Amino acid sequence: MATQHTRDVELPYPYPVVLDAVARSAPTAGITVNTVDPARGMVFGVRSMSVFSWGENVTMQLGQTAPTAPTQLRITSALAFGLVDWGRNRKNVDAVLAALTAFLDQHAAASRLG
């Protein structure tokens, strides 16, 4: 088993919208956001220690090739300590992506309504 898991996604939303959505939706996925750095496109968070893990560090890196281009997002979850993650990092990445998608879907629906 790995000690980290990474997933890259492309989102059809502007960079500022995705940055805000990542920071606001991560707690829904059980991630405590420690730092949001808009200049570097980084959101740093942690998942607390549990029965299954000593905790995980979750990094969300945003990028955009042009102002009108989709926003790229790389989500990485890595063990804070340990050798085997037992699938925990994949679950963290999946949870962050699910929370983000739900948040962005609500944003899109609200934009259409008004």
Quote the pTM value: 0.86
pLDDT computed for residue 44 by the predictor: 97
> Dihedral angle at the C-alpha atoms of 105, 103, 85, 33, nearest 10 degrees?
160
Distant-in-sequence, close-in-space partners of 66: CB < 8 Å, separation ≥ 6: none
pLDDT computed for residue 40 by the predictor: 96
pLDDT computed for residue 84 by the predictor: 63
Counting as low any pLDDT under 50, the low residues of the chain are none
| Class of residue 85 by CB neighbours under 10 A (exposed 0-12, middle 13-18, buried 19+) | buried
